[in-house]
Amino acid sequence: MKMKDFKTYLFSFFALLFFGGSGVFAQEKDKSLPAANEQYAAKNFMDAEAEYRISNSKFPNRSVAPYNLGNAIYKQNQPSEAKYAYANAIKNARSRVQKHKAFHNLGNAFMKEKNYTEAVEAYKNALRNGPSDEETRYNFALAKKMLKENPPKDNKDKDKKDKDKKDQDKKDQDKDKKDGDKDKDKKDNKGDQDKNKDGKNKDDKSQNPQPKPGGISKQRLQNLLDAVNNEEKKVQDKVNAKKVKGQPTTTEKDW
């Protein structure tokens, strides 16, 4: 997977510098970019990176420095960091040629990380901006092949978790159904035992309110709330008592 070099960028940069109109001469000259390019050509990638960062900080809206910065970082075998420089170059790119090169190299960075899903997307975007590039087309096909052979682990784990959850839910439903049938039988038997000779139920609903199925009676709920409040009051009283006992007394030191 070859990287796209920066010669095209240099040409477009200097063309803009010399033919951009009368306002060009009033602009600040970028001395760091040529110095960085010299270091890069000499394979001094760390020094080149430093100069590219200076250039990028001075001219944050240009795409040349972040693109070449990404290349310098990539050459130091730091694809994870290079990705952010390429993304910045893509954001500032003003031509399809620039976008194509940045997306291509971004795809290379993802391939280094074995993130084939993102690599496929990056190469796809590169082809949208440079459909005739055979090298990008080859990398795109390779990324798709690698993705097929190495599907994301997250998807495998997710599918397994979903299956396990469905199986567990089914078991829980079956258990709840059995428990419900048992409870119903118990209630029916108890109802038969509680009926008096006249066929009336011994429990009078007006005297002893019953909770709704699956709920709780208002009286029981109130009792629980009262109990909780009482416990909180006891705890607070203990805390206050400790505070009173533990108050420090001010004394003068005897030197």
The model's pLDDT over 162-196, given as tens digits with 9 standing for 90+, comes to 667 777 777 767 766 666 666 666 666 655 555 55
Average pLDDT over residues 39-62: 95
Name which of 43-52, 116-125, 156-165, 242-251 the model is least confident about: 242-251
208-221 average pLDDT score: 49
- Report how far residue 99's alpha carbon sits from residue 63's, in angstroms, rounded to the nearest whole number: 9
Tokens standing for residue 127: 């082809």
Task: Please state at what angle helix 64-75 crosses helix 32-41, rounded to 10 degrees.
Answer: 30
Show me where the domains of the chain are located.
Answer: 7-11+30-152
Helices H / strands E in the chain, number of each: 10, 0
- Which of the two residues, 207 and 219, has the higher pLDDT score? 219
Rounded-to-integer distance, Cα 14 and Cα 20, Å: 9
**Predicted local distance difference test score (pLDDT) of residue 166:** 74
Calpha distance 145→151 (Å, rounded): 10
Distances (CA, A) of 2 to 25, 101, 108, 119: 37, 11, 8, 14
Average pLDDT, the chain: 75
Whole-structure pTM value: 0.55
The residues near 89 (Cβ < 8 Å, ≥ 6 apart) are 63, 66, 67, 70, 98, 102
From the options 1.25.40.10, 2.60.120.280, 1.10.3210.10, 3.40.50.620, give the CATH code of 7-11+30-152: 1.25.40.10
